[in-house]
Amino acid sequence: MFRQVFFGPLIQTNDKEELIIKESVAIFVDNGKITWILENPKDHEKEFQIEWRIWDGIKVLSRGQFMMPGFIDAHTHAVQFPNLGLGYNKGLLDWLETYTFPLEKKYSDTDFAERVFEAVVKRTIKMGTTTACYFASLYVDACAILAKKTAELGQRAFIGKVNMNIPRDDGYCESTLTSVVDTIDFIKSLEIIGNPLVKPIITPRFALSCDMELMQKLAEIAKTKDVHVQSHVSENKDEIMAVKQAFPHLPSYTAVYDAAGLLTNKTVLAHGVYLEDSELAILKERGTAVIHCPSSNTNLKSGLCDVQRLKANGIKIGLGTDVSGAASYSMLNEMRSVLQVSNCLSLTRDNYTPLSYKDVFHMATLGGAKALAIDDKVGNLMMGKEFDALIVDMNAEGSLLDNFKEYTLEENLQRFIYAGDERNIISVYVKGKQVK
């Protein structure tokens, strides 16, 4: 057995979305799993002196440092990293045609996929993303490469083979048969590898890329294999209109996915900017989560998503960078975008309470875990969960922040969220293994 113990302050949220701050804890980790959390370990120093020789890894945090759960990026496109910062003069559908699809087509070249995905996984880990939910590629070989990179580099990940069977002039699409066979093959290949950190996720791109037959078949696979599902929903007004034209007999965008059987409590839908009340009722009923992607929604001028409304309707909310809709793969940046969008909404509405830094901290950690239905394993550092954690250091080398005075832990959390960056994340752990 490999035992570790981490001594220091801990900041996280709980199931009630409350901020929990502990000045001093000892977290005991056996084979990556948290087996015991002791508060105020100094009171028990004598016992430790005798015992701690048997532990393999002891980490004592210094002043200005604290532990927190790792970030969960619940929606990002690994293939789109080469386009970071490009094309925001367009709206969603034009942007997809002009920038995104031509780039994504290049991943039939596995050397290109190797190069990009190595960088994607290394860079997101550096930013503190311990779990990433990826749209991988249309091409199954490229998907396998992303799965291999996350496994090698130690990131927890969902890897989605993208499904698109609506014919296109440029050939960036696939037949229904290929889509289904490749999806099953990909799931089987991950089953054989059996890495508990790297899971497949069924990924119909959106209702404009897949017909009902394919979506139904994918829903069937998700059910038989008991795997997650991800897609996009209600992101942009032109997109929503096109979906209504493509599925005239169905009452809403959400109803299309529901008719296919794609909505479960292991389904995550990105954006959800313009969801109608009837759609919220379906999502609530199915236990399906919405992944908020505020940077992408503003870059592509998709809209301002009202997260308070989704929350009030009992919808689970995660947070996603949606690279390259976002120009940054940093969850800290994404958290700031949430706050900016929420503040903007509060300026245009009466009696609107904007989200707080505590809310976004929850969304980026336990909220994401709940959205992905992995909160039995990650999202905060509780007994029985796995140790997916960051060590944040407000005195880190190269930090953008100085410490001219004393700060409380809660102040340091605020400073980290609003003004810190990856240089303040000095260590990253996934299931107890240090990956940064």
Q: Residues 325, 379, 420, 432: which binds ligand GUN (CB under 6 A)?
A: 325
436's contact among Fe ion, ligand GUN, none, with CB below 5 to 8 A by partner kind, is none
Query: If residue 416 lies in a helix (H) or strand (E), which one and from where to where?
Result: helix 409-419
Asked if 137 is part of the footprint of ligand GUN (rule: CB under 6 A), the reply reads no
The tokens for 252 are: 């809403």
Query: Count of CB atoms within 10 A of residue 385's CB?
Result: 20
Which of 322, 334, 393, 422 is in the footprint of ligand GUN by CB under 6 A? 322
* Shorter beta-carbon distance to Fe ion: residue 146 or 381: 146
Residue 100: which residues within 8 A CB-CB, separation 6 or more? 80, 83, 87, 324
Per-residue binder mask for ligand GUN (CB under 6 A), 377-416, x = binder: ----------------------------------------
Of 95 and 361, which has the nearer Cβ to ligand GUN? 95
Please report whether residue 77 would count as binding ligand GUN according to CB under 6 A: yes
Work out how close the CB of 349 gets to ligand GUN at its nearest, in angstroms, rounded to a whole number. Answer: 25
> Cβ of residue 78: shortest distance to ligand GUN, in angstroms?
11
Other CB atoms within 10 A of residue 56 CB: 10
Contact between 97 and 391 (Cβ < 8 Å): no
254 touches 286 (CB < 8 A) = no
Q: Per CB under 6 A, which of residues 280..299 are in contact with ligand GUN?
A: 296
Q: Which residues in 83-155 belong to E strands, given as ranges?
A: 129-135
203 binds ligand GUN (CB under 6 A): no
Q: Provide the minimum distance between the beta carbon of 232 and ligand GUN in the complex, in angstroms, as a whole number.
A: 4
CB 155 within 8 A of CB 130: yes
Residue with tokens 């209504």: 244
How is residue 152 written in tokens? 């090698």
At closest approach, how far in Å is the CB of 271 from ligand GUN? 7
75, 136, 164, 202 from 182: Cα distances, Å: 22, 13, 12, 11
Q: Which of 322, 334, 386, 388 binds Fe ion (CB under 5 A)?
A: 322
Q: Where along the sequence are the contacts to Fe ion (CB under 5 A)?
A: 270, 322
Q: Where along the sequence are the contacts to ligand GUN (CB under 6 A)?
A: 77, 92, 96, 100, 205-206, 232, 235, 296, 322, 325
